Amino acid sequence: MRPIEFCGRRRCLPHPLGRIESRDPLDCPFRASAPRGRTEAFAKSSLLGLVDCGPSSVGWPSKADRNLDGLGRPSYRQTCRLFFRRSTKLYDKQALIALIREKALEFGDFTLASGKKASYYLDCRKVTLDSAGANLVAEGILDLLGDSLPDAVGGMAIGADPITAAVITVAGQRDKPLKGFIVRKESKAHGKGRDVEGPIESGDAVMIVEDVVTTGGSSLKAIEKVEAAGLRVQGVIAIIDRMEGGAEAFAERGHNLQTLLTIRDFGIEPPSARA
């Protein structure tokens, strides 16, 4: 295996095309160097994900669009520009909509957890337990949080559990400190008998996460248990708002609801709009 350098530290990775040399961070995060005649192949492999340069959001430019140096290789500036485009575009809203439409949205006669009857159902666990879906959801939630990260995220089992796992995993990949927790539906009758599980401490600021909000009942119960455990709730983030009173219910309790999507993103009007 050929050694590859990351920020001055040598690691042996199974990549035969060359190495990555650390550069001034104000200049560029990497510069590809490879054996003569193979630099373009190395840069291509970097941008296509064979060398880990961040999430893929752009393809390799056409030959006419390339800014090549005198040896026919992608220029340093062109390679850096593509790297930054790949690294900064993370959450893809349209990709999440398409995935939910394909995997989670069903039409028929359903009874929701709130007891309401509905003509459609969103089984978001088919998305949050899918590798691509989990990453899209986590990236969207972290984008909503921005630089104002809470101490922890979590929600009512079991719908919130895969969301929590995805968010803290992607946060860790971004070197952002974030803990997770699980709220039990039923109190534990053995052990310490806790309703809230996780590496949390009294006084921690937390964000409640949820897959689908209808009336907000599930997350309101989670908020009660979380506050009883001494945690400070900063708000609620959900994947989808069905727009059936959940946001108003949270507002009455002094909490703000943020969502990645609403049901209108799928061309469905909420009952209040149809009345």
* pLDDT tens digits for range 189-218: 776 778 999 999 999 999 999 999 999 999
Pairing of the two strands 196-197 and 9-13: unpaired
86-111 core/surface letters (b: 16 or more CB in 10 A; e: else)? beeebbbeeebbebbeebbbeeeeee
Evaluate if residue 34 carries a pLDDT over 70.
Answer: no
CA dihedral 89, 129, 243, 111 (to 10 degrees): 160
Residue-level pLDDT at 71: 52
Smallest CA-to-CA distance from 166 within 219, 121, 125 is with: 125
Choice among 111-115, 201-205, 236-240 with the minimum mean pLDDT: 111-115
Q: Are 247 and 270 in contact (CB under 8 A)?
A: no
Smallest CA-to-CA distance from 86 within 133, 49, 37 is with: 49
Evaluate if residue 48 carries a pLDDT over 50.
Answer: no
**Domains defined along the chain, listed by start:** 2-88 (no CATH), 93-274 (3.40.50.2020)
Residue 19 pLDDT level (bands cut at 50, 70, 90): very low
- Exposed, middle or buried: residue 161 (CB in 10 Å: 0-12, 13-18, 19+)? buried
Residue 123 pLDDT level (bands cut at 50, 70, 90): very high
Pairing of the two strands 196-197 and 179-183: antiparallel
Number of CB atoms found within 10 A of residue 73's CB: 21
Q: Are 61 and 89 in contact (CB under 8 A)?
A: no
**Residues 63-87 pLDDT 10s:** 444 444 555 555 555 554 444 444 4
Q: How far is CA 69 from CA 23, 27, 63, 126, 166, in A?
A: 19, 18, 13, 47, 41
> Percentage of residues in the chain with pLDDT exceeding 70?
66
Average pLDDT over residues 153-170: 97
The packing angle between helices 131-145 and 161-173, to 10°, is 70
Residue-level pLDDT at 43: 45
CB neighbours of 155 closer than 8 A, spacing ≥ 6? 161, 163, 164, 183, 208, 209, 210, 218, 219, 222
Residue-level pLDDT at 188: 73
pTM of the shown model: 0.68
Residue-level pLDDT at 20: 42
Stronger pLDDT, 271 or 119, i.e. the higher one: 119
Mean pLDDT of the chain: 78
Return the residue matching tokens 């510069």: 31
Evaluate if residue 93 carries a pLDDT over 70.
Answer: yes
